[in-house]
Amino acid sequence: MTTPDQPALQRVPRDSPPMQVELEVPTAKVAALFAKTSAQWQHLAATEPHWSVLTDEGFRQSKLATNRSAFYKSGEYDVMAFAAALARAGLQPDQGGRLVELGCGVGRATAYLARHVGQVVAVDISDPHLRLARQHVREAGFRNVEFRQLQSIDDVARLGAFDALFSLIVLQHNPPPVMHRLLHDLLTLLRPGGVAYFQVPTYRIGYRFAIDEYLAHRNETDMEMHCLPQAVLFDLLHSHGCRLVDLREDDSIGGPERSISNTLLVQKRDLA
């Protein structure tokens, strides 16, 4: 309970207006958006690979030697949270199944995921990240991880069918039409009965996205944060026959006073 000198935490007001987000864009422009994001992340991964995954000053290259263990340990918590979400829904990971990790980065969670499933397909947009992830997973002793680089947005559809999806603090760095396309292709490949555990920002006060305006702005170095409207996200899940089984507001994009980020666990209906 708060006291007069301890005001309640101010969350996004319930009467906040809708965001203006352009989603219906030509395929060629979606490819251009993906290419722009790829250029940003090639730069970030080549200069500050660990900090670009978790933006804590302790994970800068200049300080990483003393903080490396803490960095990789944080991946264990995320995988434990995934397992807890499954347990709350009365589900269990398919220990012989195939899991796609979208945005594996430097392998922070990859080795922990490899303990629980038959195969991990660790996917990232950045080759510098993937090189470090391969090294980390190899040193951890796991041989059931396959690494894939997404060189174009069409590469997602080539990943093949899988039983589980895991993706945290990744989708948020992609423009809304790219987020939508990535989730569409991934949910298409998710096998009936399979689960998807992922995080996505769904609201930010003052956020807007206009594709031509965005493409005209040059940014090849800075990290970006984007939103996918919650109603659009729920429509996408429904169109792929997915039921929402766990939903949490999280702090993946900072404080709650201007933004909403959601972590979801969904299961694709088995129509058999």
Tell me the C-alpha distance between 88 and 68, whole Å: 31
Task: Using a pLDDT cut of 90, give the percent of the chain over it.
Answer: 86
pLDDT at site 94: 81
Q: Quick check: 8 pLDDT over 50?
A: no
- Which has more confidence, 137 or 220? 137
Res. 222 pLDDT band, cuts 50 70 90? confident
Among 5-14, 49-58, 262-271, the minimum mean pLDDT is found in 5-14
- pLDDT digit string (tens) for 45-90? 999 999 999 999 999 999 999 999 999 999 999 999 999 999 999 9
Res. 220 pLDDT band, cuts 50 70 90? confident
The values of phi and psi at residue 142, to 5°, are -100, 140
Question: Contacts from 79-82 at CB under 8 Å and sequence distance 24+?
Answer: 79/109, 79/112, 79/113, 79/116, 79/166, 81/263, 82/166, 82/197, 82/265
pLDDT at site 221: 75
Q: How far is CA 8 from CA 3, 22, 71, 257, 260, in A?
A: 9, 34, 32, 11, 17
Element (H, E) at 30: helix 27-47
Residue keyed to tokens 């965001």:
19
Stretch 14-34: mean pLDDT = 94
Residue 243, token pair as written in the block: 């039921």
What are the residues facing 165 on neighbouring strands? 100, 196
CATH of 20-268, one of 3.10.620.30, 3.40.50.150, 3.40.50.300, 3.40.50.2000: 3.40.50.150
Stretch 240-269: mean pLDDT = 91
pLDDT at site 106: 96
Amino acid at 122: A
pLDDT at site 10: 57
Specify whether the CB–CB gap between 266 and 245 falls below 8 A. Answer: yes
Q: Quick check: 272 pLDDT over 60?
A: no
**DSSP letter assigned to residue 51:** T
Stretch 92-105: mean pLDDT = 93
Res. 29 pLDDT band, cuts 50 70 90? very high
For the chain, the average pLDDT equals 92
Amino acid at 26: P
Res. 256 pLDDT band, cuts 50 70 90? low
DSSP letter for each residue of 82-109: HHHHHHHTT----TTSEEEEE--TTTTT
Res. 7 pLDDT band, cuts 50 70 90? very low
